[in-house]
């Protein structure tokens, strides 16, 4: 996996005030936005991205009194990933008591100006996610900051993308990265109960879960029994046990190693 990583030295990061708290592993990643005005001009001017990241670090250190920028990584519209606190270091942006659960990845969009995330931002967020999965002990969860913390972050457009399973632009709705051969494309709707959902996509998922050894009826109806199987499978895989078959849970049904 390739990542266009801008290390701290190259974006002119200030030195942290003290040592980081070490982070061995996480459930996954929480996605953030700036919560303020982002100049749309950064899309055509990478120097603007550098200035914005520097200003965010300054605000976190001088305004919040944090020891460093609060994010693990920052994704910009040029598909570059800025190193924040980096791998195996506790972030500060997820909220008190929540930072040990997830890395924090910021997409450079806001609540005014640049609001809709360009494809470059989405690609860079996913590049960062794959990077922390492969090198930082991150689990499979991809959540928004608002999941578990009272905030508007990461904004409606970015959060809607997260809830769709964080598809990589150009993959037609598959989850992060390319699916393994033999994995059917994610059907694009979340399978959840209530109410009972019916369809060929439900049947396809049920058939695969039955192949994996789960006691599930293949009837094309996603009801309480299917939801319970889903929850147990999600707990087994270390992802959020919400009982909803989204892109991550769908992909794991085919790609996760046998338990």
Ordered by start, the domain boundaries in the chain are 5-163, 197-255
Give the CATH class of 197-255. Answer: mainly alpha
Q: Is the pLDDT of residue 179 over 60?
A: no
What pLDDT, on a 0 to 100 scale, did the predictor assign at position 35?
A: 93
Q: By percentage, how much of the chain surpasses pLDDT 70?
A: 95
Q: Are strands 221-222 and 197-198 parallel, antiparallel or unpaired?
A: antiparallel
Residue 52 reports pLDDT greater than 90: yes
Q: How far is CA 79 from the centre of its chain?
A: 16
Relative orientation angle of helices 247-255 and 200-211, to the nearest 10 degrees = 40
- Cα three-residue angle 139-31-107, rounded to 5 degrees: 130
Distance CA 140, CA 220 (A): 26
pTM for the full predicted model:
0.69
Note the CATH number of domain 5-163.
Answer: 3.40.80.10
Does residue 177 have a pLDDT over 50? Answer: no
Per-residue pLDDT tens over the stretch 144-157: 999 989 999 999 99
Average pLDDT over residues 12-25: 96
User: Worst-scoring range by mean pLDDT, 30-39, 119-128, 164-173?
Assistant: 164-173
Q: Please state, in angstroms and as integers, the Cα–Cα distance from residue 212 to each residue in 37, 81, 174, 235, 255, following that order.
A: 48, 37, 21, 15, 11
Q: How far apart are the C-alpha atoms of 74 and 46, rounded to whole Å?
A: 13
Minimal CA–CA distance to 242: which of 199, 190, 179, 172?
Answer: 190
């Amino acid at each position: 996996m390739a990542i266009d990583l801008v290390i701290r030295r190259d974006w002119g990061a200030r030195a942290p005030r003290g040592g980081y708290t070490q982070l061995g592993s996480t459930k996954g990643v929480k996605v953030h936005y700036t919560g303020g005005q982002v100049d749309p001009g950064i899309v055509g001017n990478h120097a603007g991205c550098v200035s914005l990241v520097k200003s965010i670090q300054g605000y976190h250190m001088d305004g919040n009194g944090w020891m460093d920028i609060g994010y693990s990584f920052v994704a910009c519209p040029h598909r570059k990933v800025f190193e924040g606190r980096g791998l195996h270091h506790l972030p500060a942006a997820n909220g008190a008591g929540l930072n040990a659960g997830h890395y924090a990845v910021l997409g450079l969009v806001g609540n005014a100006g640049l609001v809709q995330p360009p494809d470059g931002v989405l690609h860079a967020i996913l590049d960062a996610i794959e990077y922390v999965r492969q090198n930082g002990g991150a689990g499979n969860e991809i959540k928004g900051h608002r999941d578990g913390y009272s905030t508007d972050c990461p904004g409606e457009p970015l959060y809607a993308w997260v809830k769709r399973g964080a598809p990589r632009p150009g993959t037609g709705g598959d989850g992060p990265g390319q699916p393994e051969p033999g994995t059917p494309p994610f059907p694009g709707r979340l399978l959840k109960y209530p109410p009972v959902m019916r369809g060929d996509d439900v049947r396809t998922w049920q058939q695969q879960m039955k192949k994996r050894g789960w006691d599930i009826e293949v009837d094309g109806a996603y009801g309480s029994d299917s939801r319970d199987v889903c929850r147990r499978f999600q707990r087994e895989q270390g992802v959020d046990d919400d009982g909803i078959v989204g892109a991550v849970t769908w992909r794991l049904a085919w790609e996760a190693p046998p338990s």
